[in-house]
Structure 1
């Protein structure tokens, strides 16, 4: 028996570093990685939080609670943590449809309060990089550049077909040479695909021991 589908509204959560208004000269839409708390991504982006720049951090719609680990005495002494994912293999197409509608609406709402034609940078980390590319591919959403940090495309998403549908805007791939979680995060295959489909792409390699090589974004 196959489940049926029903479209309904959802209440999403997001963080905003900065206030939409006439002083904003640049908006960044930043998509977190799989299971990455918004507060963690925000902490790594604080050096980009300036009076003229607004950082918009949407949370993915698929939320789930992380299991808690007990200490040596069998006592759970941490508060439950809720994480989120942009898509699941079993529901990929409807998840991507919901993602596009959600991000379009939220970004439009924020930009309405900013000066006309405010430049937009879209940043995606990990699975958030794949989510960003699928959102922007053939969507018509106006943006100026795309930054993909330690990007990971799950096998369910056709990376080459997604990149072909992206507008011809600059792409920066930020990779770490020490990331052992996923070899794909090194970005070599992605860079080859980006250049072969005709996009203007650059890569910035960071020798970082942590999971987020976002220090490389200084000055961008």
Structure 2
């Protein structure tokens, strides 16, 4: 007995730190990790939340409650994931359609040619690469933080399909993460794909622009032709 697939509209959720509008100078699309709540992810990005920056935190379409440690059901965290091992192809298609639509709407509400950074954390790094490899969304920089690529995703093939944009790989100096988040091999794969990549080391905790290097965020170019 084989499972069948049926495509149906879904209502997705996202957090916006900042409001789209004429005052926005930088846009970040930030993809959370596996089984992570949006609020937990937002807490890691608190240092990036400034008036001139729009942070968009989409939630994965697979949403569910983790068992609470306490006895009260209200204490359970609602978390999400981007894909499941037994439906990876369909999940990747869904997330691409979802994120394309969200990005199109929000970019249209901001000044033309506003620099776009995409940040993927944990499994969100693999989701970000799969999304951007489709080539439908303009972006200026990709940040892969504590990246984990499931074995069901061909990492080398995915990276080879990415546009030629700078990539920063961020890895932690602590030992609280799994060994696969070490960034050296990922940087090697990025270089093999012909992409400019650098490796940064950070301590566990809220992310800062300083941790991502001096070119973590590009300045708007008022002379650039409109492309969005």
Please report the TM-score for the alignment, with normalisation by the length of structure 1. 0.92
**Aligned-partner Cα distance in 2 for 1:6–1:138:** 22
Aligned to 2:36: 36
Q: Is 2:80 the counterpart of 1:84?
A: yes
Displacement of 1:180: 3.9
- Give the secondary-structure state (helix, strand or coil) at the position aligned to 2:75: coil
Displacement of 1:168: 0.3
**Aligned-partner Cα distance in 1 for 2:122–2:48:** 19
Alignment of 1:28-67 (within 5 A): 28-67=28-67
For 2:112, which of 116, 129, 132 is the aligned residue?
Answer: 116
Return 5+ residue gaps in structure 2 as ranges. 217-228
Please report the TM-score for the alignment, with normalisation by the length of structure 2. 0.89
Displacement of 1:65: 1.5
**Aligned-partner Cα distance in 2 for 1:5–1:204:** 41
Alpha-carbon contact 1:174-1:213 (below 8 Å) kept: no
Return 5+ residue gaps in structure 1 as ranges. none
For 1:214, which of 203, 207, 211 is the aligned residue?
Answer: 207
Aligned to 1:163: 159
Displacement of 1:43: 1.4
Higher deviation after alignment, 133-142 or 116-125 = 133-142
Structure possessing the higher relative contact order (Cα contacts under 8 Å, 6 or more residues apart): 2
Taking structure 1 as reference, are residues 65 and 77 closer, same or farther at Cα in structure 2, changes over 3 Å only?
closer
**Aligned-partner Cα distance in 2 for 1:53–1:184:** 31
Aligned to 2:188: 192
State the Cα RMSD in Å: 1.6
Alpha-carbon contact 2:103-2:137 (below 8 Å) kept: no
Alignment of 1:8-27 (within 5 A): 8-27=8-27
For 2:201, which of 195, 202, 205 is the aligned residue?
Answer: 205
Taking structure 1 as reference, are residues 140 and 77 closer, same or farther at Cα in structure 2, changes over 3 Å only?
closer
Alpha-carbon contact 1:177-1:186 (below 8 Å) kept: no
Aligned to 1:5: 5
